[in-house]
Amino acid sequence: MQYSTQQPGLAIITGGTRGIGLAIAKALAKKGFTLELWYQSRQQDAEAALQVLQEWRTAIRIRQVDVTQRADVRQALAMLEDESKSISALINNAGVLQQKPFETLTDQDWDTMMAVNAKGVFICAQEVLANMPARHASIVNIASSGAQLGGTLAVHYAASKAAVIALTKSLARVGAATGVRVNCVAPGLIETEMTAMEIASQAGQDKISKHIVLARPGAVDEVAAAVAFLVSDQAAYITGQTLNVNGGLYMA
C-alpha cells in the first residue's frame, strides 16, 4: 500500500527557542510547517527566536509552557483547538542537564531531572496523541548518547534519557493504531550553550579526541536534519527507532 502524502501542518517543539530546539524550528520552517514553540522561563530566548524565524515566512506562535505540568500543556493545546489547528508533529526536545558526582546527588536533583526529561515527554505525548490526525503525524523525542553509554558525572541525566528511549518504543506501538509514528534522536556531544563548559574542559577535549570517531563536536543543524527527516514522508516506514547523531561516539 502506498503511503499518501500531505502538506506539512503544525509542529510543536518543546524547548524550541534556543539550541537544538531552535535549529529544529528552522529546519521545519524551511519545510513549510507552521510552528508552535514552547519554552519555560527565558523570555529573552523567545523574543530572539521569533526574530530568527521570521525570515522563513511561516506562521509562528511562541508560548510559555511548563511541560512538567499537565494543566499547562492542556491549556496550550486548548488554545490550538480554538484556533482549529491539528498537530502534524510533536518534537519533545525540552530538557535539562546537570553534571554532578553520583555520591553528591540529592533526591531533588533526581526528581527535577526526571520531571523535565522523562515526565515532560510522557505528558506531552499523552496529551498530543489525541489531537493528531491519523496516518499523517509523527512524534520525535530527543534523548542522548548518555542514555546508551552512561556516565559518572550525570547518572540521573543518563537515566532520564534512557527512559525517553524506552518510552519511544512503547509509544511507537501505541501510535501505530492510528498510524502515528514515534521515533527518537540521540545526539552526542553537540555544541550548545548547555554543553559549552564540557567542551571547554580537558575531559571534554579528551572525549572529542579519544572517543568521537569524527574527532569533533556536532552542530545543532546536524541534529535538526535528523529530526526533519524523521517527520517527513521519506521516513514513512520508520517507527520505534533511535537515530544516533554522535560522530561515532556510540556504535553498539
Residue 85 sits in a domain whose CATH number is 3.40.50.720
> Phi then psi for 31, rounded to 5 degrees?
-90, 0
Measured distance CA(183)–CA(66) in Å, rounded: 23
Q: Is residue 252 part of a domain?
A: no
Domain that holds residue 43: 10-245
Measured distance CA(9)–CA(1) in Å, rounded: 23
Residue with cell 499518501: 4
Catalytic residues: 157
pLDDT band at 5 (very low <50, low <70, confident <90, very high): very low
Instruction: Map 220-247 to HEC letters.
Output: HHHHHHHHHHHCCHHHCCCCCCEEEECC
Over residues 181-238, the pLDDT tens digits come to 999 999 999 999 888 888 999 988 999 999 999 999 999 999 999 999 999 999 999 9
| Residue 3 confidence (pLDDT) | 39
The total number of structural domains that make up the chain: 1
Q: Is residue 251 part of a domain?
A: no
Q: Is residue 2 part of a domain?
A: no
More confident residue, 51 or 183: 183
Q: Is residue 5 part of a domain?
A: no
